[in-house]
Amino acid sequence: MHEAGIISLLINLVVILLGAKLFGELAERLGQPAVLGELLAGVLLGLGLFPSFRPDDAVLGLMAELGVLLLLFETGIHSDLEELLAAGPKSLAVACVGVAAPFVLGFGLMEALGYSGVQSVFIGAAMTATSIGITARVLADLGRLEAVEAKIILGAAVIDDIIGIIILSAVEGMAHSGAFSWLSIARTTMLAAGFFGLALWLGPMVSRTLVTVAKRMQVRGILIVSSIIFAFSMALFAQLLGTALIVGAFTAGMLLAATDKREDIDGRLKPIADIFMPIFFVMVGAKVDLSAYNPLVPGNVPMLGLAITIIALAVAGKIVSGWAAWGGGLNRLGIGAGMVPRGEVGLIFAQVGLAAGAIDSSLYSAVVGMVVATTFVAPVMLKRLFR
C-alpha cells in the first residue's frame, strides 16, 4: 500500500483535479468555457511547477486515454440519432460546408507552404470538427436554444462530430502508416463508415438486450458497469475492425441514447466523466510547449505566423458554412459563428498527431492555439450576433 507509485499518483490526481477545477471555475467566471481553464491548468503544470508531475507519466497517460473514451461515450449519449435526423437537410448542408471549407483551406495552406501530405491532411482535418458543447452552452446562456438558427447549428454540430470522428480515424490510420495516400484515406473512411453502418444495423438490438439484461440483474451498479463494459467493448471492436477506439466509444453512446435507460446511464456516467475528463484536458495542456509561443525567440516567429493564419482560416471556413442554409430571414452570420468553436475533437486530433509523430511539437502548439482561439472567439461573436 505504501509504495511510491500510489503516493505519487494520488499527489498528481489531487494537483490535476484541483488545478482543473480552479482554473475551470475562473474561466467560467470570466464568461469562457471551463475547458479553457483546464487546458491552462495543464499548461502551467507542464512548466514543471510540481516535481511529481511529468507530462509523459504513463499511468496518467492511460487515465487520460480512458478520459477521452468516456468523453466521446458521453458525447454519443447526447447525440440522439433521431434529433440528428430531425435537424434536417439544412443542418446537413451547413455541416458539409463547415467540414469541407476549413479542410480545403487548411490543407491548401500547408501544401502551399511545402509541408508534407500527412502534415497537410492533419492540419486540415484538425480544423473540421465543431465543439457542440461550447456552442450549446453559449446559446443556452443567451436563452436562444429554441431559435431556428440554434436548431440548425446544433444539428450541424452533431453531424459534424460524426464526420469529424470518421475523418479522425482515417487520419489516424494514415498517421500510423506515415504515408499520405488517397487510397488509405478512402479505405479507413470506408472502414469507419462500415463500422457505423454495422453498429447502427446490429447495435440497437445489442444495446436493447444489454439494457433488458441489466434491468433483470440485481447486483449493485449493474447499469453503469454494463454501460462502461459496452463502451469499452465497442471501442475494442472498432479498433479490431481497423477504426479508432473513440469511434467505438462514441457509437456505443449513440446506441445507448436510443434505449429507455438513457437518462439513468447519463446521470451515472457524469460523475465518472467528471473525474476522468479533466485528466485528459490537463494532460493535453501539459504537452503544450509554452516557449513555442514566445515571439521574442526568432525561431518561433514562423510558427506564430502560421498559427495566426490557421486561426483566421479556421474562423473563415466555418463562417462560410452559414450560407449553406437556404430560406429567408435566417441569421446566416450567426449560424456560421455558431460553428466556429473547435473543442474536444480538435484537441484529440492534436493529441493523436503528436503521439503518432505525424506532427511535431511546433505544429501541435499551432493546433492547440487554434482550438483555444476559436473557443475564445465564438462566445464573444455569438453574444453580439444573437443578442
Site string for its own copies, 61-90 (x = CB under 8 A): xx--xx--x---------------------
Q: Nearest 5 degrees, angle CA 135-CA 140-CA 142?
A: 100
The verdict on 229 binding its own copies (CB under 8 A) reads yes
Under 8 Å between Cβ of 153 and 339: yes
Considering only residues 137 to 176 of the shown chain, the ones binding its own copies according to CB under 8 A are 172, 176
Q: How far is CA 255 from CA 75, 131, 211, 311, in A?
A: 12, 21, 11, 35
**Residue from 57, 96, 208, 239 in contact with its own copies (CB under 8 A):** 239
Q: Which three cell numbers stand for residue 60?
A: 496518467
**Residue from 268, 293, 330, 362 in contact with its own copies (CB under 8 A):** 268
**Residue from 131, 135, 351, 365 in contact with its own copies (CB under 8 A):** 351
**Residue from 81, 136, 355, 377 in contact with its own copies (CB under 8 A):** 355
User: Of 58 and 112, which CB lies nearer to its own copies in the complex structure?
Assistant: 58
User: Of 26 and 104, which CB lies nearer to its own copies in the complex structure?
Assistant: 26
User: Of 205 and 229, which CB lies nearer to its own copies in the complex structure?
Assistant: 229
Instruction: State in angstroms the smallest separation of the CB of 70 from its own copies.
Output: 10
The verdict on 275 binding its own copies (CB under 8 A) reads yes
The verdict on 200 binding its own copies (CB under 8 A) reads no
Q: Which of the ranges 99-107, 221-229, 336-344, 357-365 carries the binding residues for its own copies, by CB under 8 A? A: 221-229
The footprint of its own copies (CB under 8 A) covers: 1-3, 5-7, 9-11, 13-14, 17-18, 20-21, 24-25, 28-29, 34, 37, 58-59, 61-62, 65-66, 69, 172, 176, 217-222, 224-226, 228-229, 232-233, 235-236, 239, 244-246, 268-275, 278, 351-352, 355-356
